Chains A and B, each alone.
Chain A
Amino acid sequence: MREMHGYAGTILRVNLSTGTVSREPLAEDLVSDYIGGRGFGAHFVYREVPPGADPLGPGNKLVVAAGPFSGVFLPSGAKTNFSAKSPATGLYGDSNIGGHLAGELKYAGYDAIIVEGRAPVPSYLFIEDDKVEVRPCEKLWGMGAIKTEKALKDELGDEFQIATIGPAGENGVVFASVNHDIGRQAGRCGMGAVMGSKNLKAIAVRGTKSVPVADMAGLRKVADEMFSALAANPALKVWQDQGLAQVTTWSNSIGALPTRNFRQNFYENAEALSGERMRSDIHVRDKACFACPMATGKYCRARYRGETVFLEGPEYETTALIGSNCALGSIEEVAYANYMCDELGLDTISGGSAVAFTMECFERGIITKEDTGGIEARFGSLDAFVEIVKLIAARKGIGEPLSRGVRAAAAAWGGGSEDFAIQVKGLEWSGYESRGAPSMMLAYMTCDIGAHHNRAWSITHDIAVGRNVIDGKAAKVIELQHVRPLFDCLGVCRLQWVELGLPLEYYARLYPAVTGRQDTWDDLLVKSERIWNLVRAFGVRERADFGRADDQPPRRFYTEPVPDGPLARSRITREDLDRLLDEYYDLRGWDRNGRPTAKTLERLGLGDVAAELLAMGRIS
Chain B
Amino acid sequence: MKLDLDRCTGCKLCQLVCSVVNFGENNPKKAGIRVVSRLFTDARYDVVVCDQCGVCIDACPVGAISMEDDVVRIDPDMCTNCGVCVETCPNGALFSHPDVDYPIKCVACGECARLCPRGVLDALADVRKVAS
A-B residue pair count with CB separations less than 8 angstroms: 87
Any chain B CB within 8 A of the CB of A182? yes
Report the separation of the CA atoms of residues A29 and B98 in the bound assembly, to the nearest whole angstrom: 32
Residues of A within 8 A of B7 (CB): 286
Q: How large is the interface on B (under 10, 10 to 19, 20 to 34, 35 or more residues)?
A: 20 to 34
Residues of B within 8 A of A72 (CB): 26
Residue pair A285, B39 in contact (C-beta under 8 Å):
yes
Any chain B CB within 8 A of the CB of A158? yes
Any chain B CB within 8 A of the CB of A310? yes
Known interface pairs A158-B36, A291-B11, A293-B11; A220-B20 also in contact (CB < 8 Å): yes
Q: Which of B12, B13, B26, B45 has the most CB of A within 10 A?
A: B26
Residues of B within 8 A of A292 (CB): 11, 13, 117
Q: Would you give the 0/1 interface string for B93-125, flagging 1 where the beta carbon is closer than 8 Å to chain A?
A: 000011100000000000000010110000000
Nearest A residue to B97 via CB reads A208
Any chain B CB within 8 A of the CB of A284? yes
Report the minimal beta-carbon distance from B110 to chain A, rounded to whole angstroms: 14
Report the separation of the CA atoms of residues A213 and B19 in the bound assembly, to the nearest whole angstrom: 13
Any chain A CB within 8 A of the CB of B128? no
Any chain A CB within 8 A of the CB of B52? no
Residue pair B20, A182 in contact (C-beta under 8 Å):
no
Residue pair B117, A107 in contact (C-beta under 8 Å):
no
Any chain A CB within 8 A of the CB of B60? no
Report the minimal beta-carbon distance from B94 to chain A, rounded to whole angstroms: 16
* Residue among A100, A150, A216, A240 making CB contact with B20, cutoff 8 Å: A216
Known interface pairs A73-B16, A292-B11; A107-B28 also in contact (CB < 8 Å): yes
Any chain B CB within 8 A of the CB of A452? no
Residue pair B25, A295 in contact (C-beta under 8 Å):
no
Q: Would you give the 0/1 interface string for B1-45, flagging 1 where the beta carbon is closer than 8 Å to chain A?
A: 000000101111100110110011111111000001101100111
Any chain B CB within 8 A of the CB of A103? yes
Residues of A within 8 A of B9 (CB): 285-288, 295, 297
Known interface pairs A216-B20, A310-B43; A291-B29 also in contact (CB < 8 Å): no
Residues of chain A in range 282-323 having any CB-CB distance to chain B below 8 Å: 284-293, 295, 297, 299, 310
Report the separation of the CA atoms of residues A289 and B12 in the bound assembly, to the nearest whole angstrom: 9
Residues of B within 8 A of A153 (CB): 40
Report the separation of the CA atoms of residues A158 and B45 in the bound assembly, to the nearest whole angstrom: 11
Nearest B residue to A78 via CB reads B11
Q: Would you give the 0/1 interface string for A190-225, flagging 1 where the beta carbon is closer than 8 Å to chain B?
A: 000000000000000001111111001000100000
Residue pair B29, A207 in contact (C-beta under 8 Å):
yes
Report the minimal beta-carbon distance from A329 to chain B, rounded to whole angstroms: 25
A interface residues with partner B (beta carbon < 8 Å): 71-73, 100, 103, 107, 150, 153, 158-159, 182, 207-213, 216, 220, 227, 230-231, 240, 284-293, 295, 297, 299, 310
B interface residues with partner A (beta carbon < 8 Å): 7, 9-13, 16-17, 19-20, 23-30, 36-37, 39-40, 43-45, 97-99, 115, 117-118
Q: A182-B40, A208-B98, A213-B26 are in contact. List 9 more A-B contacts (CB 8 A).
A: A71-B26, A73-B16, A73-B26, A107-B28, A182-B39, A227-B117, A289-B11, A291-B16, A292-B117
